[in-house]
Amino acid sequence: MTDITTEKARIGAPSAQPFINGFTEEGESLSPLNAAESKSPLAGEAVKRHSHGGGVGVPDSSRAGRLTSYKLADFKPLTGMEEDWRFTPLKRLRGLHADVLNGAAPSVAVTGPDSVRVETVGRDDARIGSAAIPEDRVSANAWENFTEATVITVPAEVQAEGEVSVVLTGQGTGASAQHVVIVAEKFSKAVVVLDHQGTAVVSENIEILVEDGAQLTVISLQEWNDDAVHASSQQAKLGRDAKFKHIVVSLGGDLVRVTPSTRFTAPGAEAEMFGLYFADAGQHLEQRLFVDHAVANCKSNVLYKGALQGRNAHTVWVGDVLIRKEAEGTDTYEANRNLVLTDGARADSVPNLEIETGLIAGAGHASATGRFDDEHLFYLMARGIPEKVARRLVVRGFLNEIIQQIKVPAIEERLTAAVERELAATEN
Amino acid sequence: MSTLEIKDLHVSIDTEQGTKEILKGVSLTIKTGQTHAIMGPNGSGKSTLASTIAGHPRYNVTSGTITLDGEDVLAMSVDERARAGLFLAMQYPVEVPGVSMTNFLRTAKTAIDGEAPKLRTWTKDVKAAMAQLRIDADFTQRNVNEGFSGGEKKRVEILQLELFKPKFAILDETDSGLDVDALKVVSEGVNRAHAEGNMGTLLITHYTRILRYIKPEFVHVFVDGKVVEEGGPELADRLEEEGYDRYLPGAGAATIAAADAAAQA
Ligand SMILES: Nc1ncnc2c1ncn2[C@@H]1O[C@H](COP(=O)(O)OP(=O)(O)OP(=O)(O)O)[C@@H](O)[C@H]1O
Ligand SMILES: [Mg+2]
């Protein structure tokens, strides 16, 4: 790809500055007020009923200072001017940010190994709120409105054979709220697939608890119908030596906005966060992730790749990585790469790395948006490869790096086929 | 036996300053089994000729013809030209992200032959050709040209030449950027392909050193978008000694005539 801008930075040397020049494109810096704030917005029951951060007079500039609350009323109505909503066309949210979410929520069908427990519980279940707290109005709106939750538990030390499949099927266009809790208990191991299908207008909260020594993979597939609107907050809380892999795949839907986060609460944990998105004409696919290095000696690695084609295809990737003062020995890298296949498509890519301690093993980011370029096409065609095949070869190769991470053969095949369909769609 | 025929070719490009004519009437005929060298100073239009034959969209043919066994090459798309048997080893091979060499080679071979190669023999052929060109086996796992050194890119171009078996190979400064060992390895690759007897070669070069390994029957001197002199291998020897100076603007016809006389003496 030519016309690529790539920034790479890895630092190991201590730095006196809380914020290193050139590490964010947005120029966000840490508010001194927030720097002294709590370690984690999730301090347990105590914070459950009131809000944190972003209070009066506190500029919401650092990710550490973002308002978090279980109460919708704590979040001001959206105007579209907010930093975390500035790319989202609010009109197309179809009420997820403003209406009471009382439409029928997508149905939930869970299949998988017998060793994994599946329950449907009411709002008062103790596990609700154990891993997540809303960070924006749409998520809080779902929290306020969901009627029942699905809780999936991988019991301690269980190694679940085969994946746990959670099929969420949309029930129409009434604005709705969904809640799912996934708990990987100590030293368990499992793969959970959230499979979003059909037509829905839904705000969803997914809580993910990865306890000490557990290894959990969560794959969230968005293969909605064209008219679906989906906001999904997927928050993971990691215990000591936990290993968490999160993969977001957004292909279908009119507007899909996924906000995954990983919070480290004890040392020795590792998180990998991958994403793949393919936006067609008119689609808005947004992903905003957050990695909160709140404790020492944890690792994170983030890679999101997107392809875009057609008029007004729009993708947004924002990657916030926060290395707090306590998080010495952190090793983190985040990258986003976009491949723009046609004119009229737009990819926004914003990596934000905030570093409050210099005593880290490494921290870096890269962001690149390239066009599928005439020189690539010429080279491949000069070897006899027809134009259509050449395009497929490039896009398939580009996205395959993420698909390979899934390691569930049936899903890998399904996604490869889905990408082929996306490519075939523009050729007509 | 095939013939590639270029007749009175005029080519221009669009630049910010307007249209610029680069090839100003080039005629050249190459037949199977022949090796032609095109030699000329920087900027004389050698790559333009090569890219125009391959069909790069940047170059506009304003007049003249290119035919392959009578078929109009200019009417063919880039991929059709390759499938018709034309191969361009590029001066600056392009890096293609996301596409592995294995995948690329197999896809191209399938396109050129019209059917997928037999997997077992194909893998063996690729391995053997790579070994002969001293390309590391792990290159098949890497993306096309991505992160390859200049010399590695050139070897991989010749690897493709050997695997795709074209009717005509156009080698655009395949020698540049190669050390002596690599030059030998690459030249041997070209000679192997040539020895199979079904290929004509158009060897574009600035320097004569590759001509120690690849022997052309015909040498064409290219200056300012035109062939200014043609001859046999002896012409290359003379260029080796005298360089291109005498063809350049300022060096009038008299100088050339004098040099000719000197060479004859
Ligand atoms: N895209 C372009 N824009 C402007 N001028 C160009 C462009 N491409 C080629 N040219 C010009 O056309 C002329 C011929 O270029 P070409 O690359 O064919 O020469 P060459 O003989 O291959 O040179 P070299 O020995 O350096 O490879 C040069 O003057 C070059 O500057
Ligand atoms: Mg050249």
CATH number at residue B39: 3.40.50.300
CB atoms within 10 A of CB A154: 28
pLDDT given at position A64: 86
A26 to chain B, any CB pair closer than 8 A? The answer is no
pLDDT given at position A426: 61
**A residues 300-359 lying closer than 8 A (beta carbon) to B:** 339
CA-closest residue to ligand 1 atom 5? B15
In a domain, B221, yes or no: yes
pLDDT given at position A373: 78
Which pTM value belongs to this model? 0.74
Q: What is the mean pLDDT of each run of 10 residues along chain B (265 residues)?
A: 97 94 97 96 95 97 98 98 98 88 96 95 96 94 91 96 98 92 95 95 92 94 95 90 80 51 51
Instruction: Provide the token pair at A249.
Output: 């795949």
Instruction: Provide the token pair at B43.
Output: 């900027």
What SS3 class is residue A118? strand
C-beta of residue B133 within 8 angstroms of C-beta of residue B189:
yes
User: How many angstroms separate the CA of residue A290 from the nearest CA in chain B?
Assistant: 27
In a domain, B131, yes or no: no
Helices (H) and strands (E) in chain A, counts: 5, 18
Q: What is the DSSP letter of A63?
A: G
CA-closest residue to ligand 1 atom 3? B15
Query: Range of B35's domain?
Result: 3-96+165-264
Q: Which ligand is nearest to the CA of B44?
A: 1
> CB neighbours of A334 closer than 8 A, spacing ≥ 6?
A291, A300, A301, A302, A303, A319, A321, A351, A353, A364, A365, A366
The residue extents of the domains of chain A are 58-372
If one counts the domains in chain B, the total is 1
C-beta of residue A292 within 8 angstroms of C-beta of residue A133:
no
Q: Using CA atoms, how far apart are residues B78 and A107, in angstroms rounded to an integer? A: 51
Q: Which residues are within 5 Å of ligand 2 (an ion), measured at CB?
A: B 46-47, 91
Q: B17 in ligand 1 pocket by Cβ < 6 Å?
A: no
pLDDT given at position B70: 97
Q: Using CA atoms, how far apart are residues A314 and A231, in angstroms rounded to an integer? A: 16
pLDDT given at position B256: 52
Q: Dihedral through CA A368, CA A314, CA A425, CA B108, nearest 10?
A: -10
pLDDT given at position B261: 52
- Ligand 1 atom at shortest distance from the alpha carbon of B44: 21
pLDDT given at position B200: 98
Q: Which residue has the tokens 């890497």?
A: B142
Q: B45 in ligand 1 pocket by Cβ < 6 Å?
A: yes
In a domain, B68, yes or no: yes
Q: Residue type at B143?
A: N
**A141-A145-A150 Cα angle (round to 5):** 110
User: How many angstroms separate the CA of residue A380 from the nearest CA in chain B?
Assistant: 8
Q: Which of A378, A189, A272, A287 has the alpha carbon at shortest distance from B54?
A: A378
Q: Which of B96, B159, B160 has the highest number of chain A CBs within 10 A, making it the mutation to test binding with A?
A: B96
pLDDT given at position A18: 30
CA-closest residue to ligand 1 atom 7? B13
Residues of B with CB under 8 A from a CB of A: 54-57, 77-79, 81-83, 88, 90, 93-94, 96-100, 103-104, 107-108, 111-112, 143-144, 160, 164
CA A260 to ligand 2 centroid distance, Å: 50
pLDDT given at position A251: 96
> CB neighbours of A120 closer than 8 A, spacing ≥ 6?
A108, A148, A149, A150, A151
CA-closest residue to ligand 1 atom 14? B45
Q: What is the mean pLDDT of each run of 10 residues along chain A (428 residues)?
A: 34 30 29 31 34 39 88 96 95 97 98 97 97 97 97 98 97 97 98 98 98 98 97 98 98 98 98 97 98 98 96 97 97 95 93 95 93 88 95 87 89 90 71
C-beta of residue B244 within 8 angstroms of C-beta of residue B218:
no
> CB neighbours of A126 closer than 8 A, spacing ≥ 6?
none
> CB neighbours of B150 closer than 8 A, spacing ≥ 6?
B176, B177, B178
Q: B46 in ligand 1 pocket by Cβ < 6 Å?
A: yes
Our mutation pick for probing the ligand 1 site, out of B14, B48, B91, B171, counting the most ligand atoms within 8 A of Cβ, is: B48
